[in-house]
Amino acid sequence: MEMSQSTGAGVVFPDIAVIGNPVLDLVVRDGVVRDSALGGTASYAASALHALGARVRVVGLVGEDFPEALLEVLSREGLDLGAVQRIAGVPTTSYRLEYTGDPPTRIVRLLASGPRIGHDTLAPDVGDARAIHLGAVAGEITGEAMDRLLDLGSRPMIGADLHIMRCFDDEGRVRLAADEALRGRLARLDVIKGSFEEIRALAGVEDVNTAVQGIEAGETVLATDGRGQGVFREDGACRCFWPYPTREVDATGAGDVFLASYLYARTRLERGIADAVRLAAASASFVVEASGVGRLGDRKAVEERAREIRID
């Protein structure tokens, strides 16, 4: 499949642009390599948005080693991959995901850091999207690219997953850090989403409510904790929500889908913050019921579950 950047006149930009590299995940269960799978925030977020009925463009880079069959998985979903480019001479962003136990626990290690998304990777009409989802998983979105997006005149809503804070030791183990420049850029975003661990690391405090209150963001901060309650900020106050009850098989991608669905609900569906959280939590509940990007809810199914999401 040929991939090139689509910037021609008359192109109708989608509801949401998802910016981040498609990822190659090496799946290991109980010490045995089971599969090589499509992964990364860009893949999960874009696929979930498409299932909801959104028009989605993926902006990202892959290496020359990225399997064509995995890109065809995204292509069959009907996603706009015109801004996904294959870069010669560099590896694809790839992770080792090791699962043990039931319900499974997961250890994540970076195997290869892929090509970086610079300001010149972004299509000139990227600002025409209703929302932009920044989905870096290995530091692939450069500061210059973020600055270009943040400096757009009448810009779309921009949200980022705090995977953007990931750093790695020599063995690929993940740690979380944000230098002064990244903190300044995060403070200019409309929406910040992270796990409790990521939210605590960014705020530098242990209490999640205090962290959510203290983090700067134009609209809201969203904090999720897997099987437990989540927290978000609305009108200066913290509110709690509870996930839809379901049997968890694999939580990979749930946070990515949560943020993407929230941005869609706020911009395309014009929902309020609390109702957008309900739809986001409902959408994420489908992801955990199976491994990979194959288990995603359509709009009708997600809306049915959203009505059952409790918010206090």
Give the Cα separation of 13 and 231 in Å (integer). Answer: 32
Average pLDDT of the chain is 89
For residue 277, count other CB atoms closer than 10 A to its CB.
Answer: 28
Q: Which residue has the higher pLDDT, 13 or 268?
A: 268
What residue ranges define each of the domains in the chain, with the CATH number in brackets?
16-306 (3.40.1190.20)
Convert the pLDDT of each residue in 110-150 to its tens digit. 999 999 999 988 887 888 899 999 999 999 999 999 999 99
Joined together, the tokens standing for residue 167 give: 């750093």
Closest CA to 52 of 258, 261, 263: 261
Closest CA to 68 of 108, 36, 96: 36
Q: Taking 90 as the threshold, does the pLDDT of residue 35 lie above it? A: no
Residue 36 has a pLDDT of 81
Q: Taking 50 as the threshold, does the pLDDT of residue 8 lie above it? A: no
Joined together, the tokens standing for residue 104 give: 């499974």
Q: Taking 90 as the threshold, does the pLDDT of residue 277 lie above it? A: yes
Read off the pLDDT band of 310 (50, 70, 90). Answer: very high
- The stretch 19-30 carries a mean pLDDT of 89
Joined together, the tokens standing for residue 7 give: 């910037």
Read off the pLDDT band of 12 (50, 70, 90). Answer: low
Residue 13 has a pLDDT of 60
- The stretch 76-99 carries a mean pLDDT of 87
Q: Would you say 111 and 172 are in contact if contact means Cβ atoms under 8 Å apart? A: yes
Read off the pLDDT band of 152 (50, 70, 90). Answer: confident
Name every residue whose Cβ is closer than 8 Å to that of residue 16 and which is 6 or more positions away in sequence: 49, 54, 55, 56, 57, 129, 130, 131, 132, 133, 260, 263, 264, 267, 268
